[in-house]
A = this chain, B = another copy of it.
Amino acid sequence: MTDELPENITRAIESTAPGNASSDIDVTLAQQNPEEIALLLESLPLPPRLEIWANISKEKRLDILLVMRNDPRQPLLENMSVAELDELFEGIDAEDLIELEESLPVPMLERAVQIMDERQRDLFAHALQYDAKLVGHWIDDDVLVLPVNARVRDAIRFLRRQLPVYTDTIFLTDRTGKFSSAVKVSRVFPELDHVSLAELAEEGLHALVATDVAAAAALKLQSSGYTALPVTDENGKLLGRLNIKVACELVNENFESKFMAPAGLDENEDLFAPVMKSSKQRAIWLGINLLTAFLASWFIGLFDATIEQVVALAVLMPVVASMGGIAGSQTLTLIIRGLALRQISKGNIKALLFKELGVGGVNGLLWAVVIGAVVLIWFTSPILSLIIALAILVNTVAAAIAGVVIPVALEKLKLDPALAGSVVLTTVTDIVGFVTFLGLGTLLLI
């Protein structure tokens, strides 16, 4: 598993394992870029993480913190002295402080804001007006802006002086500061000096609005062919831009949270969070799942007299529950991705339900026959075989319906389907499975 890890980082991590000397880490660190050091720090238990952090040069610290996740960087920030923090925050810009904001205790954040220069303080205050889910929270002001009547010669004079990172277009605004259009930097150079920039404007480039959903806007920027898009307020006034690095962070964070959510985890979860902190966070999720498990048990308990007479039913219960759960999770996963990609709307939900019912029906029939046959051989009871076949068919079809309906309903209720979907689904498939199976058993075997 160490194949893809830079060798010197592996060595550095290994040298922090109990019993090893940590002497050559400093040398190693001096040669690393911030991303690699951040990766190293996130990969370490807290004591060596703090030890290494203390040895990292002051100039590198901010860049490293900026690429770390919230949870693993929090202890680093909390263990810094006021003097160190003052040094860290000196000359910090609004964009960077926004990134650190969530990991900073309020007094530290206030101190950072105090140290900032006025312009950055304004930008920071402005970003905070927007929720972290919205584009406005994530903009920077590294924009090249010219009036809409500017000419190529103005642009070239401008470009020779400055070309901020991720700048591939110059934004044109009208006299009131409203965004009008954008011109590609690459289109400016080959033109004659007196050509009007407005004539060179990009046709397909539309500004983002500060109140747009950040993750969706970030995806749009990624596929736009540009490295930054202008961001305006709701009246069209140019506020700044969203750049592609921030867009990648937003998209990746969103994907990561969708991957972690089904286990009730947060995308900021620290690999080496303190045991008690981790236990507490996970306990909540275990508690919620326990309620649904007890609910399933209660339904089984309704049939205890039947189980006492036909123990084979108890033996086969996991098969019914498992097949329903897996079939349901397949549909659920497809629908959650569809919702995230905005593929699903009122117009196609019915067609989608029919398709999933079709798939559930086909696989329900197939596996009902297979499982029925296995049970017939195992328990030599044709009725038990029929019962489990019917239960599998019913549960697979129910799972298809639940897999479509549950995530769509959760989304409507503004709950994250990636988080709550699988718990609710498993509850449904467990109960439908157990009740059908044990219910049919009671009717036909007793």
Contact = CB atoms under 8 A, between A and B. Distances in A.
A342 interface: yes
A13 B348 contact: yes
Contacts of A367: 283, 286-287, 290
A371 B290 contact: yes
Would you call the interface of chain A mostly helix, strand, loop, or mixed?
A: helix
Contact of A334 (B216, B269, B351): B269
A26 interface: no
A92 interface: no
Contact of A304 (B35, B283, B315, B339): B315
Contact of A164 (B186, B223, B370): B186
A259 B275 CA distance: 27
Q: Which interface class (under 10, 10 to 19, 20 to 34, 35 or more) fits A? A: 35 or more
Given A227-B244, A408-B1, A352 B290 contact: no
Nearest to A358: B275
B297 A347 contact: no
Interface stretch (A51-59, A103-111, A174-182, A325-333): A325-333
B334 A265 contact: yes
A225 to B, nearest CB: 6
A282 interface: yes
Interface string A268-296: 01011001101100110111011011101
Q: In the complex, which of the residues A43, A165, A312, A408 has the most CB atoms of chain B within 10 Å of its own CB atom?
A: A43
Contact of A362 (B9, B276, B430): B276
A227 B343 contact: no
Contacts of A371: 290
A322 B293 contact: yes
A248 B165 CA distance: 18
Contacts of A307: 307, 311, 314-315
A308 B15 CA distance: 56
A16 interface: yes
B259 A255 contact: yes
Interface-central residue, A164, A327, A374, A408, by most chain B CB under 10 Å? A327
Contact of A260 (B33, B160, B164, B337): B337
Contact of A352 (B9, B272, B308): B272
A258 interface: yes
A124 B1 CA distance: 32
A91 interface: no
A14 B351 CA distance: 11
10 contacts: A1-B346, A4-B213, A13-B348, A39-B341, A39-B342, A43-B345, A223-B245, A264-B330, A282-B327, A289-B326
Given A275-B358, A290-B367, 20 more contacts: A5-B345, A13-B348, A14-B345, A17-B347, A18-B351, A164-B186, A165-B225, A166-B227, A244-B244, A269-B334, A275-B355, A279-B363, A283-B363, A285-B326, A286-B327, A287-B367, A290-B322, A304-B311, A307-B307, A308-B308
Interface of A: 1-2, 4-5, 9-10, 13-18, 33, 35, 39, 42-45, 67, 159-168, 185-186, 189-190, 204, 213, 216, 220, 222-225, 227, 244-245, 248, 251-252, 255-256, 258-260, 262-265, 269, 271-272, 275-276, 278-279, 282-283, 285-287, 289-290, 292-294, 296-297, 300-301, 304, 307-308, 311-312, 314-319, 321-323, 326-327, 329-330, 332-334, 337-339, 341-348, 350-352, 355, 358-359, 362-363, 366-367, 370-371, 374, 408, 411-412, 430
Lowest 3 CB-CB distances: which A-B pairs, in order? A13-B347, A14-B347, A163-B186
